[in-house]
Amino acid sequence: MTDLRIEQAAGDAMLKDWQHVHNVIIPTDPLSLDDVRERVGRNHLEVAYLGDVPVGCTTVRPPTGDTSTATVIARVLPGHRGQGFGKELYARGLAHARTLGAKVIETIVLASNPDGLRFAQAQGFEEVERYVLPGDTIPFITLRLP
């Protein structure tokens, strides 16, 4: 595998890189930099780079409240898929979720992203729910590891 560098998102430059990857993969729900700043305060965000070029990102939503369910989302830009980056990002996110006490792992994929859905299913995830954000038409798919 090519030298992939993955770092926890910190500072506006890295948050902008994370935002860019998210907004390319999830064009139906673009985030502003302020949105990303808010997310980094409650979630673990990482950015994957080849050299200085962002190629992917992760989000780990920690278990909250009465649940032991964490959400692990790995995103890889289309031009960089099929090189093992998603597996590396997912493995890191899963390991981090486990250190936070997660017993159940979920992920979320936009229905218009068949590569992401195939990837999640190849990792063993099974669909549990579909929902559409207000004003949108493309569903998000929640999947869970059995």
pLDDT, tens digit only, all 146 positions of the chain: 468 999 999 999 999 999 999 999 999 999 999 999 999 999 999 999 999 999 999 999 999 767 799 999 999 999 999 999 999 999 999 999 999 999 999 999 999 999 999 999 999 999 999 999 999 999 999 999 99
Sheet holding 44-50, edge to edge: 5-8, 44-50, 53-61, 69-76, 104-110, 140-144, 126-131
Query: Which pLDDT score, from 0 to 100, does residue 67 have?
Result: 79
CB distance 28 to 136 below 8 Å:
yes
- Report the predicted TM-score, pTM, of the whole model to 2 decimal places: 0.93
Q: Which residues contact 37 (CB under 8 A, 6 or more apart)?
A: 15
Among 103, 100, 106, 40, smallest CA distance to 73 is for 106
Query: Which pLDDT score, from 0 to 100, does residue 40 have?
Result: 96
Question: Can you give 56-93 as a three-state secondary structure string?
Answer: EEEEEECCCCCCCEEEEEEEECHHHCCCCHHHHHHHHH
| Range 5-144 classified under CATH 3.40.630.30 | yes
Using left for φ > 0, alpha for ψ between -120 and 50, and beta otherwise, residue 125 falls in beta
Query: Which pLDDT score, from 0 to 100, does residue 2 have?
Result: 64
Among 84, 89, 94, smallest CA distance to 48 is for 89
Among 94, 82, 84, 81, smallest CA distance to 144 is for 94
